[in-house]
Structure 1
Amino acid sequence: MDIRNIKTFQTIIRLGSFQRAAEELQYGQSTVTMHIQKLESDLGVKLLERGKKLTLTEAGRLFHHNADLLLKDYDFLQTSMDELLKGDAGVIRLGVMEPTASYRLPQLLGPFLRQHPKVKISIHIGNTTVLGQMLYEGSIDMAICSTPPSGLDHTFEPLFIETLALLLPEAHPLASKSSIQLRDLQHEHLLITNVQCPYRQKLEHALLERGGSPYSGMEIGNMAALKYYVQAQFGIAVVPVITATPSPQGTVLKPIDDLDSGLVTGLLRKMNGSAFSVATENLINIFRTELRSSTFTSS
């Protein structure tokens, strides 16, 4: 069924004649007649009895009663598609790694959603491995995470470097040192995240290469909780600087001189994925503008 034919039928019923409907719709009367004939042909029933006065058949009464709902749904769908094309509506499924999810994303999404109130965003928080798998399965459209282990199925666009530092209690012997090296962490009790966390992986590789062994660790699954365990003097932790600034009372945040740069964080997308909506592209541009560090280098 052509939606124009349905609109023509409803207009005829509202105005009471083919001629008045043709004048309002700015069609020729023959066009209006053709619309009704085509509609009746598509439905396989007669809708109107033509005579001195138009009369609805039983099928016509049923169709007329339900056609307004169909037209309203069509108009809503058309409006939604127009808004999608303009970037005013849509659904964005975003995967995000901590600490970006808690410390950076809310400040970026707030202004965006105020400007695009009809855009819906679903946020999935996980590590790079989990988010990469979700992207591969099509559960999310893109992710903000660390560099993935493989780039065969995805493209990765670096945006910024998450700087790391050592958080320790004020009374800890290392707190008074003017310079801290990775080897200083030997025999220390480190508070670490789970084995899939890219921050832990970076730290462990750096310790093996430059700090040596042994060291002991206590695993804490939530990165945001590390600073509170340091504050309670369960040990020391290498944390993203943003999560411990300002540092909790009774703790000190100090750089590790030979822990290179930090963790590269960026935008992960499917290599051959479908084109993004205008709203998604607008959000990506905000990420590029607000997250990209002017000091980032590929080295």
Structure 2
Amino acid sequence: MAITLKQLRYLTTLQDERHFGRAANRLHVTQPTLSQQVRQLEATLGATLVERGQPVSLTPIGRDVASRARNILREVADIHHLADRAQGMLSGTVRFGVTPTLGPYLMPQVVLRLHAAHPELRLYIREGFPDEQARALANGELDMLLAPLPIDHPRLHVEPLFREPLALVGPPDHPLHGKPETLARDFGGEAILSLDPRHHYSRQVAEICDRLRANLLRDYEGTSLDGLQQMTGSGLGLSILPETYLRSESGGEHIVRRFAVADWEAYRSIAGVWRKGSVLSEAFAQIAKVITEEANRTLG
């Protein structure tokens, strides 16, 4: 019986998730289907690849097979991209990863522009944590990534695109809004909300809190920027929100108000990322150029 690409993809996903149920959910198959395909792969190779415990782990030979499988899957993805490139530089489906602290507020206009100029291009957009998506990109599960810096991976090309201001906001009736002049030191001891620590954004907020000597509320981590905005509007704490969010239709300042801090300066740097040597590097550079232009238009 021949080894199939599906079996190799199942094995590498199982190695990533270390759990049959989570791997099956990620692959959009049932757990028995996943288990059966892995057993068929083991039978074909005549070797045990998986130690079925909690958590699941691969045997030494299983890890070797999975490493080679990832290379094969990347090569197959590049073959598909070569075919797309033959039909047109911006065509086919691009698996596009983006952080949820940016994508919903910047990507709609990017998608409109790309679709108008390149109707054969399809973007399969997946939101996620930047570090996890960088690994997925390196492993061939994604084609391109839009994420905050830093991103450091030997197999990835990182193209800085733009800097986005971050604003300190609070409820409209916060006493510091009434001061004639507000300085960063005035926020010492203030409670500041943030997101899950797996977000680059959360780490940057923690660094800003250290500089301000503010109190980062670990017990009230939001799951979205909308959640932070609403909790801030209710008076639970202050937030540091990206400018693209504050200028978007879904965000804005209707329930929060930014502080005019005389010595405030905070930014995050955003980059486009793709695999080094990708056959579609030129196409990804074109997409990155559109993203930069839309970001500059939004922030200008």
Please indicate the TM-score interval, normalised by the length of the shorter structure. Answer: 0.5 to 0.7
Q: 1:136-151 residue pairs with structure 2 within 5 A?
A: 136-151=138-153
Deviation at 1:116, TM superposition (A): 2.5
Deviations 1:234-280 (A, max 9, x none): 2211111222237443431125455544000011122x332107754
Give the secondary structure class of the aligned counterpart of 1:104.
helix
Whether the 8 Å contact between 1:189 and 1:215 is mirrored in structure 2 is yes
Query: Is residue 2:253 matched to residue 1:253?
Result: no
- Secondary structure of the residue aligned to 2:277 is coil
Deviation at 1:115, TM superposition (A): 3.1
106, 110, 113: which one aligns with 1:108: 110
Contact map agreement 1:160 1:291 (CA 8 A) in 2: yes
Gaps of 5+ in 2: 1-81
Amino acid aligned to 1:171: D
TM-score, normalised relative to structure 2: 0.62
| DSSP 3-state at the match of 2:228 | helix
Aligned residue for 1:10? none
Is the CA contact 1:185–1:215 (under 8 Å) kept in the aligned structure 2?
no
Q: Could you say which residue in structure 1 is the equivalent of 2:8? A: none
| Partner of residue 212, structure 2 | 211
Judged with a 3 Å threshold, the aligned counterparts in structure 2 of structure 1 residues 88 and 126 are, in CA distance, closer, same or farther, namely closer
Deviation of 1:170 after TM superposition, in Å, equals 1.4
How many residues of Structure 1 are paired with residues of Structure 2 in the alignment? Answer: 215
Q: What SS class does the counterpart of residue 273 from structure 1 fall into?
A: coil
Deviation at 1:95, TM superposition (A): 0.9
Q: Deviations over 1:143-177 (max 9, x none)?
A: 11111342433221111112111111111112223
Residue 290 of structure 1 is matched in structure 2 by: 294
1:276 aligns with 2:277: no
Larger Rg: 1
How big is the shift at 1:206?
A: 2.6
Q: Residue type of the partner of 1:267?
A: G
Q: 1:162-204 deviations in whole A, cap 9, x for unaligned?
A: 2111111111112223444443333222221111222221121
User: Contact 2:192–2:216 (CA<8 Å) still a contact in 1?
Assistant: yes
Write the distance in 2 (CA, Å) between the matches of 1:103 and 1:135: 22
- TM-score, structure 1 length as denominator? 0.62
Query: Identity across aligned pairs (percent)?
Result: 22
Specify the SS of the correspondent of 1:158: strand
Determine the structure 2 residue equivalent to 1:262: 267
Unaligned runs of 5+ in 1: 1-79
